[in-house]
Amino acid sequence: MPALPLDEAGKYVAGAYVVFLTLVVVYVAIIGAKIARIDRELTELTSEDGE
């Protein structure tokens, strides 16, 4: 198949890189949320305990 013209090909290339970046961002976001929750619970516990 002959190479796609630049504008059409651009969509696919963008798609591939978007997939990659989305995976990374979603993964980091999920872990970031977990860490935030742990942090929150930690401050709750230490404030309880300190009383």
Partner 1 sequence: MYSKGFKPLAAATVVTLATAMALVFFYAPLDADQGFVQKIFYVHVPMAIVSLCGFVAGGIMAIAYLRSGDSSWDLRSYVAIHISIILGVGVLATGAIWARASWGHWWVWDEPVLVSFLVVVLLYCVYYPLRFSIEDRERQARYSSVFAIAAGAFVPLNFAAVRMAEAYTHPRVLSQTGGNLPGEMRLTFLVSLLAMALLFVTLWKLELISKHASMQLKRLKRKLAERETVAA
Rounded-to-integer distance, Cα 38 and Cα 32, Å:
10
The residues that touch partner 1, with contacts defined as CB under 8 A, are 1, 3-4, 6, 9-10, 12-13, 15-17, 19-20, 23-24, 27-28, 31, 34-35, 38, 41-42, 45, 48-49
Provide, rounded to whole angstroms, the least separation between the CB of residue 48 and partner 1: 8
Q: How many CA atoms lie within 13 A of 1 on its CB side?
A: 4
First to last CA, the chain: 73
